[in-house]
Amino acid sequence: MPRYKLSIEYDGTDFVGWQRQANGASIQEAVEAAIASTCGIEAAIRGAGRTDAGVHALGQVAHVDLDRDWNGGVLRDALNAHLRPRRIAILRAEPVADDFDARFSAVQRHYLYRIVNRRAPLTVEAGRAWLVKRRLDAGGMHDAAQILVGRHDFSTFRDAECQAACPVRTLDRLDVARNDELIEVHASARSFLHHQVRSMVGSLEQVGAGKWTRADLEAALEARDRARCGVVAPAAGLYLVGVDYGKGEESAPCDK
């Protein structure tokens, strides 16, 4: 059966998340239904990242096995026709090798978190960013964020219900930058724990607001205690922006 890689963009506002669930509509379910309508078969897809309810994607990746060969452009357009009017789009559909796995072949995942830092309420950004009204020091947030870069036990910054067997991850990038009233946090790693990005962003917001110092963030990391985490940033500001594939360096088991 030929295997296809799907690059997917979606607004997660109206979904319970990527993964199929009994309590509401999921991205996975919608794409699988579009495949069934297009190809006439029931096919399960595997995604690179299991985004939560309300989380968006500009570059989610999934793979699917179909029963015949398709032209990538034709498959993309047919799936998009069946996905309307949902705010989900297949950006690309392309054939890949049989051993390609959207989740396990990934060597890097990239997330963006968007904070709008102003007093006025959100309008066009509602549901797509975190509104923080108190002035934040983005420079101080970036400086403190570098404490988290590298290989650490991130127990403080993972959800209490996280199912990962190991809390150790290698964070390759955590940058914070301001552009007028918009503050962007960029995070890159081979893999992340459940709620790790939102937990780190929420703690960095405490630094930016002057409630935490750089030393406080470091102490929270070293405590390896979920109770020491700051607020968890809302889902609406988080985006899966890209997934890298290719021959990466050998990673430690916890990072896979």
Which residues form the domain of 224? 106-245
- Judge if 128 and 221 occupy the same domain: yes
Do residues 50 and 19 make contact, with C-beta atoms less than 8 angstroms apart?
A: yes
Q: Does residue 253 lie in a domain region?
A: no
Neighbouring residues of 19: CB distance < 8 A, sequence distance ≥ 6 = 26, 28, 47, 50
- Judge if 88 and 136 occupy the same domain: no
Last residue of a domain, one of 96, 117, 151: 96
- Judge if 80 and 115 occupy the same domain: no
pLDDT at 137 over 70: yes
pLDDT tens digits, one per residue of 169-209: 999 999 999 999 999 999 999 999 999 999 999 999 999 99
- Judge if 83 and 127 occupy the same domain: no
Which residue out of 14, 52, 101, 137 is catalytically annotated?
A: 52
Number of structural domains the chain divides into? 2
Q: Specify the residue for token string 């709008």.
A: 116
Q: Please, which pLDDT band fits residue 122 given cuts at 50, 70 and 90?
A: very high
CATH code of the domain covering residue 139: 3.30.70.660
Give the global pTM.
0.94
- Other C-beta atoms closer than 10 Å to the C-beta of 22 total 6
52 a catalytic residue: yes
- Other C-beta atoms closer than 10 Å to the C-beta of 43 total 16
* CA separation for the pair 86, 178 (Å, rounded): 32
- Judge if 88 and 131 occupy the same domain: no
Q: Does residue 120 lie in a domain region?
A: yes
- Judge if 84 and 202 occupy the same domain: no
